[in-house]
Structure 1
């Protein structure tokens, strides 16, 4: 078995290192568990990184501060269909007093369903909330439009049928 020492010069005595001083346990504060292996007196030996109870040795070299800010994952890209659905829903709601927003609300409903399917199948794509909002706005404007047409037809049939002949006869 080798002890990895160099042989002494011819006729000389082998070198033996001096014995190591005994290791004194140190305490970080009164009442703390003793830490063995730390220098007995401050200022001697290598500086020791602080050890937090229950966490073991720190992973960074001594002298570098740890990042105080939490690391968050990168945001997911938003689906273009979800954005389109929301924009069409808002446009159809803002111009609901015209007849043309029916086209925008239909587009909001179609693109909203397509965006929901895309976000469900691909978890790396975001925008599910915008797709729901576009769907809701599209369906609300379509419902208002259907209700407006129904009320207009009923009022035209109920009141218009009796008033138009009397206007022409008088």
Structure 2
């Protein structure tokens, strides 16, 4: 074949040939990168190594996580009942009774947490604090109501 191609008998150049078509080839498989064992000063692949690294090397998991401690159910109940006591102050001082129950549950929960090592000490402490504060507010409200009744009767109103 000559370059450039010669025109045909009618004076028109022939079309260029089609490019060759290649068969489908899947992309090459990529392998996960694994650093050489001696790169970090510790042979992770050898079960007979004598020393552990000072810190976990990149790409390798750190020490396994410890499972979380279960939360004491009474601690949750203490905080929930004490917080319900806040709303109960508006309902004929029922909040004072709920505050006492919440605080007592908090004390029992803290004792059980110390004995068993379960979680939730902060929840129990919050239940104790909120419970006794609500009880104090309810007692002060009841005293104020009694004093108002006494003062209104003594003035003849």
Using the size of structure 1 for normalisation, the TM-score is: 0.58
Tell me, in whole angstroms, the C-alpha distance in 1 between the residues paired with 2:78 and 2:70. Answer: 16
Tell me, in whole angstroms, the C-alpha distance in 1 between the residues paired with 2:151 and 2:36. Answer: 93
Q: Determine helix, strand or coil for the equivalent of 2:105.
A: helix
Question: Could you say which residue in structure 2 is the equivalent of 1:148?
Answer: 141
Which ranges of structure 2 fall in alignment gaps of 5 or more residues? 1-34, 47-58
Which ranges of structure 1 fall in alignment gaps of 5 or more residues? 1-46, 165-170
What whole-Å deviation, never above 9, does each CA across 1:58-106 have from its counterpart, x for those lacking one? 3x228xx412x66431110000110110100110012211222222212
Greater length-normalized contact order (CA 8 Å, ≥ 6 residues apart): 2
Preserved contact between residue 96 and residue 136 of structure 2 (Cα < 8 Å): no
What whole-Å deviation, never above 9, does each CA across 1:9-60 have from its counterpart, x for those lacking one? xxxxxxxxxxxxxxxxxxxxxxxxxxxxxxxxxxxxxx962243xxx523x2
Cα distance, 1:122 vs structure 2: 1.7
Aligned length: 111
Which residue, out of 57, 81, 104, partners 1:110?
Answer: 104
Cα distance, 1:156 vs structure 2: 1.5
Mean alpha-carbon deviation: is it higher for 142-151 or for 94-103?
94-103
Tell me, in whole angstroms, the C-alpha distance in 1 between the residues paired with 2:73 and 2:127. Answer: 12
Question: Could you say which residue in structure 2 is the equivalent of 1:162?
Answer: 155
Which residue, out of 38, 42, 54, partners 1:57?
Answer: 42
Matches of residues 16-165 of structure 1 in structure 2 within 5 Å? 49-52=37-40, 56-58=41-43, 60-61=44-45, 65-67=59-61, 71-98=64-91, 99-123=93-117, 125-164=118-157
Root mean square deviation of aligned Cα: 2.4
Using the size of structure 2 for normalisation, the TM-score is: 0.62
